[in-house]
């Protein structure tokens, strides 16, 4: 009888841990630059075309904001928001569960550049390479008080 109770408990615990497991948190990638298109409406309509060309479905274009979702299987692999701002600034935000959001954001930048919107980083050079991020190690930083 004890053996049966232990067996049922092990099965219940293993099943309950699978049921209660939380999905992985999404990754968020942000890339920004500037474009040489004539206004935010031209930028947004070009960005919507770039999303469609790269396989994004459910592309929504409202004002200067474009949103789209890319299905790479049963779930949406990427979700993207492109915001065309005044003075030729553009921001790309990509969410994903795979951690490849920055690669997709850079791909969208290259796609927008190829459709007539030259994307430049803050230094003015046309590149899709992300800026190097500074990494801080809390254990090695010292503060003067």
Domain membership of residue 87 (yes or no) is yes
- What distance in Å separates the CA atoms of residue 123 and residue 37, rounded to the nearest whole number? 18
Domain membership of residue 71 (yes or no) is yes
Predicted confidence pLDDT, tens digits, the chain (145 residues): 555 444 454 444 444 445 556 666 778 888 887 777 777 888 888 889 889 988 888 899 888 899 988 877 666 778 899 988 877 788 888 888 777 888 888 888 888 877 655 554 443 333 333 333 333 344 444 444 4
> In the chain, how many domains are there?
1
Domain membership of residue 102 (yes or no) is yes
- Could you tell me the two tokens for 2? 């004890």
- What distance in Å separates the CA atoms of residue 61 and residue 67, rounded to the nearest whole number? 7
Complete DSSP assignment for the chain: -HHHHHHHHHHHHHHHHHHTPPPPPPEEEEEEEE--SSSHHHHHHHHHHHHHHTT-EEEEEETTEEEEEEESSSSEEEEEEEEE-STTEEEEEEEESSS-HHHHHHHHHHHHHHTT---B-TTS----PPPPPP---TTT-----
Q: What is the pLDDT of residue 128?
A: 35
Expressed as residue numbers, the domain containing 84 is: 27-114
Domain membership of residue 34 (yes or no) is yes
Cβ pair 43, 37 in contact under 8 A: yes
The DSSP bridge pattern shows strands 27-34 and 89-96 to be antiparallel
Domain membership of residue 123 (yes or no) is no
Task: Tell me the per-residue pLDDT of 28-41, one tens digit each, with 9 for 90 and over.
Answer: 888 887 777 777 88
- Domain containing 64 — which CATH number? 3.30.310.50
């Amino acid at each position: 009888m004890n053996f049966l109770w232990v067996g049922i408990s092990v099965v219940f615990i293993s099943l309950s841990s699978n049921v209660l497991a939380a999905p992985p948190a999404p990754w968020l990638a942000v890339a920004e630059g500037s474009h040489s298109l004539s206004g935010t409406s031209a930028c947004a309509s070009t960005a919507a075309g770039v999303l469609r060309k790269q396989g994004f479905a459910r592309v929504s274009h409202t004002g200067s904001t474009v949103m789209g979702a890319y299905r790479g299987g049963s779930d949406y692999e990427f979700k993207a928001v492109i915001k065309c701002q005044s003075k030729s600034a553009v921001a790309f935000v990509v969410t994903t569960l795979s951690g490849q959001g920055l690669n997709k954001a850079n791909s969208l930048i290259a796609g927008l550049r190829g459709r007539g919107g030259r994307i430049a980083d803050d230094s003015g050079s046309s590149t899709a390479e992300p800026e190097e991020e500074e990494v801080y190690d809390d254990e090695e930083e010292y503060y003067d008080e």
